[in-house]
């Protein structure tokens, strides 16, 4: 009986392999043969799914967002307000062993997006999705009396987004000052500012490998 091939699963596997190579080697020396070797397929097999390197990189970028959004959806289920916002930030911030590796790939794609309009659009759409979620959680926080009266929600959305992106960059460029304890302190400081009082205790950390 012929083997049934799940083509979607194979595409995802190849996209994940590309992400691993980017995390290890960066974009500079990335080749389709490296990705094929990482995935355990021949170069020809890869080409049947992704005829160009650009098509594979785009699929890899989309896959990163799908995975991140899946984790976020799981962590914020049943939560609202600042609790939901905190859990979402924990899935974006570069905690643990995997966080900086993921951040390195994301930052590489940010640079790539400046040269590829399709990747730019994917990034913009996902960024807007996250900002919409931040906005919703902050509105809920105001409704629940968690948010300090002086906080402007639109400004706060930009601040949350900027701090998440900033920690991703710092974890790659200055890893010695971006350990879990410092990221945790930064997150608690942000939440304290939103509440209008000093930062409190710490919660569960994000990805730890």
Q: What is the pLDDT of residues 46-64, one digit of tens each?
A: 999 999 988 998 999 999 9
Angstrom distance (rounded) from CA 104 to CA 129: 21
Predicted pLDDT at 199? 53
From 41-45, 165-169, 197-201, the region with the lowest mean pLDDT: 197-201
pLDDT band at 4 (very low <50, low <70, confident <90, very high): low
C-alpha span between 176 and 111 (Å, rounded): 23
Higher-pLDDT residue of 160 and 202 is: 160
Domain 53-195 indexed as CATH 3.10.560.10: no
- Sign of CA pseudo-dihedral 54, 132, 201, 74: negative
pLDDT-based confidence at residue 202 (cuts at 50, 70, 90):
very low
Interval 67-81 mean pLDDT: 97
The answer on pLDDT for 35 being more than 90 is yes
Answer whether 10's CB lies under 8 Å from 36's CB: no
Would you give the DSSP letter of residue 185?
H
In the prediction, which pLDDT does 128 show? 97
Burial class (CB in 10 A: 0-12, 13-18, 19+), 137: buried
- DSSP-derived secondary structure letter, 174: -
Q: Is the model's pTM score more than 0.95?
A: no
pLDDT digits (tens, 9 = 90+) for 147-193: 999 999 999 999 999 999 999 999 999 999 999 999 999 999 999 99
Q: Is the pLDDT of residue 201 over 80?
A: no
Question: Which pairs from 3-9 meet CB under 8 Å and 24+ separation?
Answer: 7/49
Domain spans in the chain, listed from the N-terminal domain onward: 53-195
Rounded CA separation 124/152 (Å): 23
């Amino acid at each position: 009986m012929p083997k049934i091939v799940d083509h979607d699963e194979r595409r995802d596997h190849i996209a994940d392999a590309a992400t691993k190579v980017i995390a290890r080697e960066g974009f500079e020396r990335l080749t389709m043969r490296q990705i094929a070797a990482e995935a355990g397929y021949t170069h020809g097999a890869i080409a049947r799914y992704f005829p160009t390197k650009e098509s594979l990189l785009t699929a890899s970028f989309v896959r990163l967002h799908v995975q991140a959004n899946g984790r976020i959806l799981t962590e914020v289920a049943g939560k609202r307000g600042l609790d939901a916002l905190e859990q979402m930030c924990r899935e974006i911030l570069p905690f643990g062993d995997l966080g900086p590796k993921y951040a390195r790939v994301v930052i590489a794609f940010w640079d790539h997006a400046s040269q590829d309009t399709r990747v730019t659009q994917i990034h913009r759409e996902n960024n807007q999705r996250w900002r919409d979620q931040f906005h919703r959680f902050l509105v809920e926080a105001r409704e629940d009396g968690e948010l300090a009266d002086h906080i402007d929600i639109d400004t706060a959305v930009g601040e949350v987004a900027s701090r998440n992106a900033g920690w991703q960059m710092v974890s790659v460029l200055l890893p010695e000052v971006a350990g879990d304890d410092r990221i945790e302190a930064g997150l608690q400081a942000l939440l304290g500012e939103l509440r209008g009082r000093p930062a409190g205790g710490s919660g569960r950390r994000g990805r730890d490998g």
